[in-house]
Amino acid sequence: MDMGKGAVVVTGASTGIGEACARQLDAQGYAVFAGVRREADAARLREHASARLTPIMLDVTDAASISAAESEIARAVGDAGLKGLVNNAGIAVAGPLEFLPLGELRRQLEVNVVGQLAVTQAMLPLIRLGHGRIVNISSVSGKLASPMTGAYAASKFALEALTDSLRRELRPWHIHVAAVEPGVTATPIWQKSLQAGDDLAVELPPQVFTLYGPAIEVSRRSARHHAKGGGTPPVMVARAVFHALTARHPRARYPVGRDARIGTFLARMLPDAALDRLLGGR
């Protein structure tokens, strides 16, 4: 197999940011292992890609799937190992925390946090071999927790912590670990999250809507707006990922998009009371 400039794994590459990263790295001459969960996505990814791009079945919540993916990648890359791992797979669970079914919170954390570390643990021997780097796709929600997205924000705050600890733990081996922190990005995640919200709504007691109806509507209105394509193009996030993987002096974190930069600044500068007034309900 042609390894080009080196091999990189991207999780959750079927759509959105992951697909943009996979295509960008492929175009730049890397051998990309693009994680997907459906054959149809594998076939679509192969279109307009070089022969170096290999779709690979990878569910980040399934230990057997991670292990099978790691074995396949290890066989293909041999002693060259990996130049990079982009932990991108993610979902967005929304709803008021008072009523959020705990199973939904667990699902959110399982995909966005535990899954990221599970894949990282599996790939680290190959990253050591290849003197590679790790990039975690976090979010401005890892800095600023808004109402109705507490579960998602919890997952991204946790991912920020994992990223920082891992970067400091792996420092002796010069394995860089970066967090890419996009703001609103134009991807299918918004439509998927709205759909998941519809599915959840039928399970919740009517009281939820009496108490939180207006706040839910504000949150859904903005999600509907983003689902129509409002936001930073995913290719901008892919550019930050590329910098984190290849630059001589990679940064520890990369806010992407004006909203992410402003959000990060406000989270750092404003006192909690001001943030509560800005983001909170009546």
Ligand X SMILES: NC(=O)c1ccc[n+]([C@@H]2O[C@H](COP(=O)([O-])OP(=O)(O)OC[C@H]3O[C@@H](n4cnc5c(N)ncnc54)[C@H](OP(=O)(O)O)[C@@H]3O)[C@@H](O)[C@H]2O)c1
Of the candidate spans 35-43, 74-82, 265-273, 274-282, the one that interacts with ligand X by CB under 6 A turns out to be 35-43
Q: Give the whole-angstrom CA distance, residue 238 versus residue 234.
A: 6
Judged on CB neighbours under 10 Å (0-12, 13-18, 19+), 281 is exposed
Q: How far apart are CA 227 and CA 94, in angstroms?
A: 14
> Does residue 51 contact residue 62 with C-beta atoms inside 8 Å?
no
Q: Choose the stretch contacting ligand X; rule: CB under 6 A; options: 89-97, 164-172, 217-225, 239-247.
A: 89-97
* β strands within the chain, DSSP E: 7-10, 31-36, 54-57, 84-87, 133-137, 177-182, 253-256
Min separation Cβ 188 and ligand X, Å = 4
Radius of gyration of the chain (CA): 19
Residue 15 interacts with ligand X (CB under 6 A): yes or no: yes
Q: Check binding of 219 to ligand X (CB under 6 A).
A: no
Total chain residues near ligand X (CB under 6 A): 31
Taking the complex as a whole, the smallest distance from the CB of residue 281 to ligand X amounts, in Å, to 22
DSSP 238-275: HHHHHHHHH-SS--SEEEESHHHHHHHHHHHHS-HHHH
Residue from the set 28, 37, 114, 218 that interacts with ligand X by CB under 6 A: 37
Q: How far is the CB of 91 from ligand X (least distance, A)?
A: 5
Catalytic residue among 30, 152, 212, 254: 152
54: contact with ligand X by CB under 6 A: no
Pairing of strands 31-36, 7-10: parallel
Q: Are 144 and 216 in contact (CB under 8 A)?
A: no
User: Tokens 């600023």, residue?
Assistant: 144
227 binding ligand X? (CB under 6 A): no
Is 185 an interacting residue with respect to ligand X (CB under 6 A)? yes
User: Would you count residue 111 as binding ligand X (CB under 6 A)?
Assistant: yes
Does the protein bind ligand X through residue 137 (CB under 6 A)?
yes
Q: Does 101 bind ligand X (CB under 6 A)?
A: no
* Nearest partner of 24 among 236, 248, 260, judged by Cα: 236
For 197, other C-beta atoms within 10 Å of its C-beta total 18
Q: Which residue has the tokens 């759909």?
A: 195
Q: How far is the CB of 157 from ligand X (least distance, A)?
A: 12
152 catalytic? Reply is yes
Task: Decide if residue 18 touches ligand X (CB under 6 A).
Answer: yes
Tell me how far, at minimum, the Cβ of 78 lies from ligand X, in Å.
Answer: 25
The nearer residue to ligand X, 31 or 149, going by C-beta atoms, is 149
Choosing from 55, 231, 255, 263, the residue that interacts with ligand X (CB under 6 A) is 231
Catalytic residues: 152
User: Interface residues with ligand X (CB under 6 A)?
Assistant: 11-18, 35, 37-38, 58-61, 88-91, 111, 115, 137, 139, 182, 184-185, 187-189, 192, 231
